[in-house]
Structure 1
Amino acid sequence: MVVLEKDNVFKCLCEVLSKRGDVSLAYLFGSVVEKSYSLHDVDVAILLKDKDPDEKLYALGSILAETASKLSINEDMVNLVDMERAPQSLLYNIIRYGMKIVGSEEVEHELIETLLVKYPDFKIELRTWMNLNPNPKVDSSIVESRIAELRRNVEYLRAEILTRSLSDITSSYKDQLAMERAMHRALEAIFDLCRHLISVHNLGLAESYAEYPKRLAENNLMPKDLAEDLMRFIGIRNMLVHRYLELDYSVLYNAVRHLVEEVFPKFVEWISNFMKR
């Protein structure tokens, strides 16, 4: 069994990456950093300098091979993450909890600024832990935009979907898609707003959508019954996002009614009172 110790892994990666001229920024992250060792694999995040897609693919492949050779492990044990294509939550973990291997502070800050532009909702979260804004506040523009998006889609569902029978809706592919899309957008607006509040109050990185309302409730920022209502929508949201072939439209239709008639009024009342604090 190979034991990959943090100090040795970090040293080897420094030797591999510091001599390359095509790496702008690199981090060691994952279990090696968290536990100081790993029995399974090594996670490395790489930000390459400008390259065309073919050159980038070749560069990442060569980095993987050199890293595996230096550590005397199989290439399957090296997980490379292209930071240009990594999702927001993963970038957060990499930058905050990882160990920077190579790269200047200037390059690191450029990446952060890119994230701020690309992911406006991430602004508060980044600035909090990077000490760019030591006293973060709820961004009213984010709240207003998410509530407007939620209201727009709820009103569509109320007027165009719930005024008709389920059989009428499911008889039209166009109406099925409209119901799915409006419901999806309404739920995304809700969870985006919850994520923003978690960031503002520095409640840590939520690894799943279910954690958004759960953490707010645990910190007495959201009523428990509302949080439980929102958590019940996670399954619906996942079905809509992942486009499962078998979607039970009777379940979706009932969820739409529950959102429009019960959860939406409670959610709007809660956020309105929250903003008055």
Structure 2
Amino acid sequence: MVRPEVLQRRLRKLDEYLEILRRLRRYRFEEFIQDPERYGSAERFLQLAIEALLDMGNHIIADLSLGEVRWYSDIPAILTERAGLDPELKEKWIRMIGFRNILVHEYMEVDRRIVYEILQSGLEDLERLRRFFAAFL
């Protein structure tokens, strides 16, 4: 059984991160790229949002005994096979995980244009994943 308090706490944090990311959308690219506080915040809150999704996915997989997670990319794959995650959203989530790895491990090489593009057009995918997890409550 999925423990609702675990999901609720992470969903609240995800909502907080998404609100901050939505506010960062309002800047033109030039304003965004010239201010380290803006792009640094965007990078960090994108990372935290992806981490929250991974935590929820791992929690559901463990609590429902859906499979074994060895790599982060196993989480969307298992949830697609065993819990009804949309295959298109699975692929987007796997790309998010790759971007999270860049933010964490290759942080000196982050392309801020990509961060800006994600703010402008990629938050919907995070919101779709949020709705997927909220359905487990």
Whether the 8 Å CA contact 1:236–1:252 is kept in 2: the answer is no
Whether the 8 Å CA contact 1:138–1:197 is kept in 2: the answer is yes
Provide Cα deviations, 1:199-243, integer angstroms capped at 9, x if missing partner: 012133311111101111011432222222211101210011114
Whether the 8 Å CA contact 1:153–1:183 is kept in 2: the answer is yes
Equivalent positions of 1:64-103 (< 5 A) are: none
Q: Residue in 2 aligned with 1:183?
A: 46
Q: Residue in 2 aligned with 1:244?
A: 107
SS at match of 1:203: coil
Q: 1:149 aligns with which of 13, 24, 34?
A: 13
Regions of 4+ moved over 6 Å: none
SS at match of 2:135: helix
Provide Cα deviations, 1:224-271, integer angstroms capped at 9, x if missing partner: 2222221110121001111431211111221233332x2133223322
Distance (whole Å) between structure 2 residues aligned to residue 202 and residue 169 of structure 1: 43
Whether the 8 Å CA contact 2:56–2:133 is kept in 1: the answer is no
TM-score scaled by length of structure 2: 0.90
Q: Residue in 2 aligned with 1:209?
A: 72
Are 1:274 and 2:136 matched, yes or no? yes
Provide Cα deviations, 1:44-84, integer angstroms capped at 9, x if missing partner: xxxxxxxxxxxxxxxxxxxxxxxxxxxxxxxxxxxxxxxxx
Task: Determine which structure has greater relative contact order: mean sequence separation of CA pairs < 8 Å that are 6+ residues apart, divided by chain length.
Answer: 2
SS at match of 2:109: coil
Distance (whole Å) between structure 2 residues aligned to residue 220 and residue 189 of structure 1: 18
Give aligned pairs, total.
137
- Specify the code of the residue in structure 2 equivalent to 1:214: A
Q: Residue in 2 aligned with 1:257?
A: 120
Closer, same or farther: CA 214–263 of 1 in aligned 2, 3 Å: same
Closer, same or farther: CA 271–244 of 1 in aligned 2, 3 Å: closer
Q: Residue in 1 aligned with 2:34?
A: 171
Distance (whole Å) between structure 2 residues aligned to residue 144 and residue 220 of structure 1: 18
Q: Residue in 2 aligned with 1:219?
A: 82
Show structure 2 runs of 5+ residues with no match: none
- Specify the code of the residue in structure 2 equivalent to 1:273: A
Whether the 8 Å CA contact 2:53–2:130 is kept in 1: the answer is no
Greater radius of gyration (CA): 1
Whether the 8 Å CA contact 1:239–1:247 is kept in 2: the answer is yes
What do you get for the CA RMSD once the two structures are aligned?
Answer: 1.6
Q: Give 1 or 2: higher strand fraction.
A: 1
Q: Percent identity?
A: 26
Closer, same or farther: CA 224–235 of 1 in aligned 2, 3 Å: same
Distance (whole Å) between structure 2 residues aligned to residue 215 and residue 256 of structure 1: 27
TM-score scaled by length of structure 1: 0.47
SS at match of 1:245: helix
- Specify the code of the residue in structure 2 equivalent to 1:263: D
Whether the 8 Å CA contact 1:143–1:193 is kept in 2: the answer is yes
